[in-house]
Structure 1
Amino acid sequence: MLVLFDLDDTLIETTQSIVEPRLDRVLDKMISSGLNIEDRDEALLVLERLNRTGSSSKEALEEFIFLYGGDRALLVHGQKIISDPEFNDLTPQMVIGSEKLLYDLKSIANLILVTRGDEIFQQSKMKKSGLPYSLFSKIEVTSSSKKGCYETILKEFKTPPNRVIVVADRIEDDLEPAKELGMVTVLYRAMRNRFSILPDLCVDYVIEDIAQLYPIVEERC
């Protein structure tokens, strides 16, 4: 049995403990770089709302800049602040219960971590958050579609797809490719997507607490 985890908003509270605390700095940088804002407090509320409802922080920044008539070059400034790997301003937090879950599952399954993004930033999140990454049999950081990573893992571990559980917070990026390969899919409804409407029968399981993964793994083992 393999259990594949996504990183952001699945094991680490990326939205709540990294992105949201940095939005204030992002807005200040945009203003100092030429974005015309009449009411800063109102603009910050708009940015926070867009970040909560958007599919990613990048999408939220793009929409915010468009709404306020800013230059697209401002996006670079915003993303640079959000993806600062030094973390001198904050400490990334693990999802509550995820550390215990990993230790418990390690005794009955091979744990795999597949995450998409900048490798330096992703590795820094793992270390700074205290994620016990030594528990993973494999860690894959990719800048492209995860489907290729999933296919490679199936071959490497010689495991049939129906013996692989994929846990993630995004359907299109993480779970659709897994579903296409015949893997068992678990949507963790993190803060960013908790109130979104789900397409019918798009995943096998939906959980809102990471501890709800225990009975799913037991059922599939």
Structure 2
Amino acid sequence: MNKIETVIFDLDQTLLDKHESLILFANHQYEAFSLVSCNNVSREFFIEKFVELNHAVRPKEEVYEELIAFFQIESALFPAMLEDLNHNFHEFVIGYPGLVDMLHALKTAGYKIGMITNGRAFYQLSKIKSLGIEGYFDDIIISGAVGMRKPDPAIFQLALANLEASAERTVFVGDNVKADIVPSKQMGMRTVLKSKIAHNEYADEICNDLFELPSIIAKLA
């Protein structure tokens, strides 16, 4: 079996706790735009709906159109709420426990580290910078900047080329079976699924604790 030399990560729900970050930002917007005064919108219900809509992969304009219609929020708030998301969401992002220690351990062990994330370039990059992890990565690919997105094999090929890595000596770590694990496995990479589930046929290993990841990758090697 080939020695592992490279580790490539997904971002959202793999390194960044998107769910908790959305909760924090939804609470911020509820306060910042005084939504309690808009038809007595419930804080808990707004946060729940905001998180639900933003977990889906869809344009943010559509998300806010639906939120405003659903809660009958004053339509004049639409551009301000959207701009607030675009420019301030990164201030509320949270990494999973062990994130920086895990990346430091991999870097110290000599692995090349990459990232492939779907999303708008400025939006994803601002989140990465806010987490304070940009410097650990030898290459970061954001779908909005390259015109292709996971699970397209071409975006994985681009990452391997940029890192001068072979699939056989690379581990891909992600939370989405369809977008992350299946395509990377089909290309010959070894795969780690970030999840609480016990088994997946496409994953070589399953890990829900970033602290454990360096030892899992060492075991795969």
> Structure 2 length as normaliser, TM-score?
0.72
Check conservation: 1:47, 1:61, Cα contact below 8 A. Answer: no
Q: What is aligned with 1:11? A: 15
Residues of 2 paired with 1:86 and 1:62: CA distance?
14
Task: Give the secondary-structure state (helix, strand or coil) at the position aligned to 2:117.
Answer: strand
| Identity level (%) | 20
Check conservation: 2:22, 2:50, Cα contact below 8 A. Answer: no
Change (3 A) 1:199 1:99: closer
Change (3 A) 1:86 1:208: closer
Check conservation: 2:6, 2:170, Cα contact below 8 A. Answer: yes
Task: Give the secondary-structure state (helix, strand or coil) at the position aligned to 1:105.
Answer: helix
Q: What is aligned with 1:108? A: 110
- Aligned-partner residue type, residue 5 of structure 1: F
Q: What is aligned with 2:141? A: 140
Change (3 A) 1:117 1:209: same
Residues of 2 paired with 1:199 and 1:57: CA distance?
29
Q: Which moved more, 1:117-126 or 1:157-166?
A: 157-166
- Aligned-partner residue type, residue 218 of structure 2: E
- Aligned-partner residue type, residue 201 of structure 2: L
- Aligned-partner residue type, residue 215 of structure 1: S
Question: Any gaps of 5 or more consecutive residues in structure 2?
Answer: none
> Structure 1 length as normaliser, TM-score?
0.72
Would you say how many aligned residue pairs link Structure 1 and Structure 2?
A: 206
Residues of 1 paired with 2:177 and 2:80: CA distance?
28
Residues of 2 paired with 1:93 and 1:49: CA distance?
15
Residues of 1 paired with 2:166 and 2:106: CA distance?
19
Q: CA RMSD in A?
A: 3.8
Give a deviation string over 1:185-205, Cα, whole Å, max 9, x none: 11112xxxx5xx788513222
Question: Any gaps of 5 or more consecutive residues in structure 1?
Answer: none
Check conservation: 1:166, 1:175, Cα contact below 8 A. Answer: yes
